[in-house]
Amino acid sequence: MKKYYRFYECCKLVRGANRTAVYDLQRLNLYFIPNSVIEVFKDYENKGIDTLFSDYSSQKEHLEKHFDYLLSSEIIFTTDNKDVFPAMSSAIEKPLYLDFLFIEIDSLQEFKKSFLENFIDNTGVEHIVIINSSNSTENLNKVLKLLNESRVKLITFISLFDDNLIKEVIALKNKHERLKKLIFFNSPNNDITNTEDESVEYFKNDLNKLLTRRISGIKSFTLNIKAYLESLNHNLYFNRRAYINNNGEVKPSFVHREYYGNIKDEDIKTIVFKEGFQHLWALTKDKIGVCKDCEFRYMCPDNRIPIKIEDRYIHNTDCNYSPYTNTWNEK
């Protein structure tokens, strides 16, 4: 009986300028295969394994090596069935309008407390990032209590570095299950922790540099099925995101300059649906110069704002990764 092979549906092939990245969305692994090899394997999926190696007899040893690698990595599997297996659905149903909310809490006015307690669930926010530039946990305590009955799934706390504050915040993290990530800026160095707890991060520079830091390596990427599906039709960084400053003013993200309203005076939904606020939400990496040639484009939360020149989008600063040389800038 003729044998065929198939790529696992959870393993997505993303072609770059020189190589193809295989996103294993089930085990969250990343593999790299030369474009020329992937092209052959994709072309022969319905022709059978024997036909593949017969037609490429002069390259058999080379292709067998890659075939064995794909098989052992469980990127492909062999089958007697030539029929195409069901494809993974790419639909994402999100009835509301926000996923991420950044909010500064040095000032915790009554209108801000009311928003957090009574209206946060109306937005759809699943991940809230609380930003604190003081050396006190008083407002964090208040916010955590306000969010106690909310449907927010994940809370990140970004705060000024302070030895006494750190102990208090870590104690709060152990008490509140949804408080998953702690980041302290203006730290004496980038690696103070004596523990292996990856949920606590120390950042040497100031808040501005923290919130504008660039993609710097593989660890900067977001590899999971949700990010992959979102990136197919939306911008992974800017989509469904909002930033509220200490005064209650709202803008699409920290890196944006223009504010679109204030939650003291307007419902946040009204602000988010104003013309221009969602401008970058649907701007995928496939529409941006250089990014469209990158094998990481469906896992990349790049915070650079693209600029439009005539009918195309580009970045006016270089990324730290080049898809044309497959190298990272060393800093």
CA 53, CA 265: separation in Å to the nearest integer?
Answer: 69
Tell me, what's the pLDDT at 85?
Answer: 72
**pLDDT at residue 82 is higher than 80:** no
Q: How many CB atoms lie within 10 A of CB 116?
A: 25
**pLDDT at residue 75 is higher than 70:** yes
Q: How many CB atoms lie within 10 A of CB 145?
A: 13
Identity (one letter) of the amino acid at 230? E
Tell me: the pLDDT tens digits for 281-329? Answer: 999 999 999 999 999 999 999 999 999 999 899 999 999 999 999 999 9
Tokens linked to 260: 């679109």
DSSP at 22 = E
The total number of residues written for the chain in this structure? 331
Tell me: the pLDDT tens digits for 27-45? Answer: 999 999 999 999 999 999 9
Tell me: the pLDDT tens digits for 160-216? Answer: 999 989 999 999 999 999 999 999 999 997 765 545 678 999 999 999 999 999 999
Which residue carries 């193809």 as its tokens? 20
Tell me, what's the pLDDT at 191?
Answer: 64
**pLDDT at residue 142 is higher than 90:** yes
Q: Which residues 6+ apart lie within 8 Å of 22 measured at CB? A: 11, 12, 13, 14, 30, 31, 32, 33, 75
Tell me, what's the pLDDT at 92?
Answer: 81
**CATH number for the domain running over 100-322:** 3.20.20
**pLDDT at residue 83 is higher than 80:** no
Distance of CA 38 to the CA centre of its chain: 26
φ/ψ of residue 252, rounded to 5: -65, -35
- Assess contact for 323 and 15: CB atoms under 8 A: no
Tell me, what's the pLDDT at 192?
Answer: 58
- Assess contact for 164 and 191: CB atoms under 8 A: no
Tell me: the pLDDT tens digits for 223-275? Answer: 999 999 999 999 999 999 999 999 999 999 999 999 999 999 999 999 999 99
